[in-house]
Each structure stands twice: as structure tokens, then as C-alpha cells.
């Protein structure tokens, strides 16, 4: 068995309003940083898991993303994995 | 009616379970039974309420963890028998996360936790939940930070075509898609609401529009 480090990025779908992102964008403007055209907030989940090969990790992560980590009505996900 | 029993599911973080029990037992003389979320035993239960609160601390997303409880697993069979399930606030969020109802609930457009009475229009008579309110507006309290109902255009058309929109806000307080405050499943026996009917069951503390909805948990 090998150890894998997986980073899952979860984002609100583009069609879903992100009021928290809008609030941070407004604060960023007040900080004096201009030129920000869009700002949206997502989630990062880092997990370490063991599996015999990379495809097994992908199967596990995709099940987790589809059923738990993301709500596919409002969110999209992508992930990066590396063997430790 | 005394033998009719409404099960009230208690998750870690539920905080409206006792309010629902008080409203049903104290105001409507309907027997209730608290059911811990780890139980899968719904024998002797005629209807189920998923109460409001913050199940599992609302970790990840509201209702995301609660949907994996033993009780929610057994609720699928319960719903297939045609018995009624009412999800209130966090209960509505759990029903969408668990796939009993379409769409999702996310943070309010203005990011505020909104706690106030709101006026609502009754849209669907499906399931007999609102039979006292044909073509009437009702007033119920809301109390939520993440009550903005979202669905895509395809789902909205499905809701419209099947008469599944139960309630709409008159003055959309949270930015919900098409002002939706409550929806039904196609069979009409599962209802999810962001407003709290259990907090509107006594005319001395804010009206009785909720009483009529809760009364319809019981099939006469």
C-alpha cells in the first residue's frame, strides 16, 4: 500500500451567487487594492489516504466528492494527488 | 387521534425538537416521540419531523453530515410507504442533501442571520399540507443564515410542472430562487420548509398559521 496526499478544491458553480465572495471583494477594494474583477470563495480539503495504486485513490476521492465533500447542485470540485 | 404518533428526529445540534414536541402535544394534542439519529427503528411512527437547528454543527454544509445517519437511511423506506415527513429549516436542508427534495440551500444573499416573521403565499395543495389556506397568504417566522433556496432552470421547471412549490416568500428575504420558501416531493408526502410552523401555534406568541400545517401531519 502507498500513501497519497490529496487536495480537493470545492467551488460554487459559476451560476450560484457568492455573497461572501462579494463581501470580501468589497473589503479588498476598501484596502485599496483595485483591479479585482471577481472574487469567489471555495473550500480546500486535504486528506492523506492509502491505496494500492493511483486509480484506487481516484475512485475513493471521486466517491467522497460526489457524495460528501461537494453538493453537485451548487458546487464543482477538482483535486490534485501526489504519492508520498 | 391519540394513537397517532409523530416521530421527532434528534440530531446532535438540533435545537427545535422540543419546540415541535410542545407545539404538537401542547397545542394540538398529538402524541410525539423523540428518535435519536442513530436509531433506524421507525416502527409505530406515523409521521416524521426533521426539526430545525444545526445538526453536526452544520460542518461542511448544512445537513451534509446528517444525511449519513442511520435514521435518514431508514427514512427512505418510510417515505416510500407514503407516510408524511416534514423538514423544517435544518430539516429542509437535510432533505435536500439526502436527495428527498431537489435543489440546495445556501447562505442568505445579504449574509445576515434573518430572524423575523414573513408573509408567504401558499402555492400547492399537494399532499394536503395547506388545505386550510387555499389562495391565502400566511405568516410564519423564519430564523436562518443559510436559507437561500437554489435550483437550476431545469429543476425549477420540474417544480412548476409537477406543482411542487409549496410556499413562496412575498418579500424574498434571503434571495431564494423564484422566492421559494418550501417545496414538496412528487408524491406530496415530503415537505421541506425554511419557515418554522412550530413557532406559530399559539395566538399569544405570534399567530396560529403554523398550527394548521402541523395538524396536517396527521391523516384524518
- Mutate one of A15, A44, A71, A75 to test the B interface: name it (highest B CB count within 10 A): A71
At residue B1, the pLDDT reads 46
ipTM over 0.95: no
HSE-CB for B188 with a 13 A CA cutoff: 13
Largest CA distance in chain B: 45
- The count of CB pairs under 8 A between chains A and B is 34
State whether B106 and A74 contact (CB < 8 Å): yes
Q: What is the pLDDT of residues B57-112, one digit of tens each?
A: 999 999 999 999 999 999 999 999 999 999 999 999 999 999 999 999 999 999 99
Question: Is the pLDDT at B220 greater than 70, yes or no?
Answer: no
- Is B27 annotated in the active site? no
Among residues B177, B184, B81, B182, which one has the least CA distance to residue A74?
B177
Range B170-198 average pLDDT: 97
Question: Is the pLDDT at B204 greater than 60, yes or no?
Answer: yes
At residue B35, the pLDDT reads 97
Sign of CA dihedral B100, B101, B104, B106: negative
For chain A, the average pLDDT equals 95
Calpha distance B21→B49 (Å, rounded): 10
Domains of chain A: 2-83 (3.30.1280.10)
Please list, in sequence order, all residues whose beta carbon lies within 8 angstroms of the beta carbon of residue A55, skipping any fewer than 6 positions away: none
> Which residues in chain A have Cβ-Cβ distances shorter than 8 Å to B64?
68, 71
Choice among B16, B89, B151, B201 that is catalytic:
B89
Q: What is the pLDDT of residues B152-165, one digit of tens each?
A: 999 999 999 999 99
Name the band, by pLDDT with cuts 50, 70 and 90, for residue A52: very high
At residue B3, the pLDDT reads 83
Question: Is the pLDDT at B134 greater than 80, yes or no?
Answer: no
State whether B107 and A73 contact (CB < 8 Å): no
> Which residues in chain B have Cβ-Cβ distances shorter than 8 Å to A69?
60
Among residues A74, A41, A76, which one has the least CA distance to residue A62?
A76
Among residues B3, B1, B97, B88, which one has the least CA distance to residue B49?
B88
Calpha distance B161→B136 (Å, rounded): 21
- Is B115 annotated in the active site? no
* Helix or strand run (H / E) with residue A30: helix A19-30
The better pLDDT of the pair A77, B132 is held by: A77
Calpha distance B7→B49 (Å, rounded): 6
Q: Which residue of B has its CA nearest to A20?
A: B111
Name the band, by pLDDT with cuts 50, 70 and 90, for residue B206: confident
Calpha distance B5→B44 (Å, rounded): 7
Please list, in sequence order, all residues whose beta carbon lies within 8 angstroms of the beta carbon of residue B95, skipping any fewer than 6 positions away: B50, B63, B85, B87, B101, B190, B192
Q: What is the pLDDT of residues B9-54, one digit of tens each?
A: 999 999 999 999 999 999 999 999 999 999 999 999 999 999 999 9
Amino acid at each position: 500500500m502507498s500513501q497519497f496526499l490529496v487536495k480537493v478544491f470545492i467551488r460554487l458553480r459559476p451560476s450560484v451567487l457568492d455573497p461572501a465572495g462579494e463581501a470580501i471583494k468589497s473589503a479588498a477594494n476598501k484596502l485599496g487594492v483595485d483591479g479585482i474583477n471577481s472574487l469567489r470563495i471555495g473550500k480546500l480539503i486535504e486528506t492523506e489516504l492509502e491505496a494500492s495504486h493511483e486509480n484506487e485513490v481516484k475512485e475513493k476521492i471521486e466517491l467522497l466528492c460526489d457524495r460528501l465533500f461537494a453538493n453537485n447542485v451548487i458546487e464543482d470540485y477538482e483535486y490534485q494527488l501526489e504519492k508520498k | 387521534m391519540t394513537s397517532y404518533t409523530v416521530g421527532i428526529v434528534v440530531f446532535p445540534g438540533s435545537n427545535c425538537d422540543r419546540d415541535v414536541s410542545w407545539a404538537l402535544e401542547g397545542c394540538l394534542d398529538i402524541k410525539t416521540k423523540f428518535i435519536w439519529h442513530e436509531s433506524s427503528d421507525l416502527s409505530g411512527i406515523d409521521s416524521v419531523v426533521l426539526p430545525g437547528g444545526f445538526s453536526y454543527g452544520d460542518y461542511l454544509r448544512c445537513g451534509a453530515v446528517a444525511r449519513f445517519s442511520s435514521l435518514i437511511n431508514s427514512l427512505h423506506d418510510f417515505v416510500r410507504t407514503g407516510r408524511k415527513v416534514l423538514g423544517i429549516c435544518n430539516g429542509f436542508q437535510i432533505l435536500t442533501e439526502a436527495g428527498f427534495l431537489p435543489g440546495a440551500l445556501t447562505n442568505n444573499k445579504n449574509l445576515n442571520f434573518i430572524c423575523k416573521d414573513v408573509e408567504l403565499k401558499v402555492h400547492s395543495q399537494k399532499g394536503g399540507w395547506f388545505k386550510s389556506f387555499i389562495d391565502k397568504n400566511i405568516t410564519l417566522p423564519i430564523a436562518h443564515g443559510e436559507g437561500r433556496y437554489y435550483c437550476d432552470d431545469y429543476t425549477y421547471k420540474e417544480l412548476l410542472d409537477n406543482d411542487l412549490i409549496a410556499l413562496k416568500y412575498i418579500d424574498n428575504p434571503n434571495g431564494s430562487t423564484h422566492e421559494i420558501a418550501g417545496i414538496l416531493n412528487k408524491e406530496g408526502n415530503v415537505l421541506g420548509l425554511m419557515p418554522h410552523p412550530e413557532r406559530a401555534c399559539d395566538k399569544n406568541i405570534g399567530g396560529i398559521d403554523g398550527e394548521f400545517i402541523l395538524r396536517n401531519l396527521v391523516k384524518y
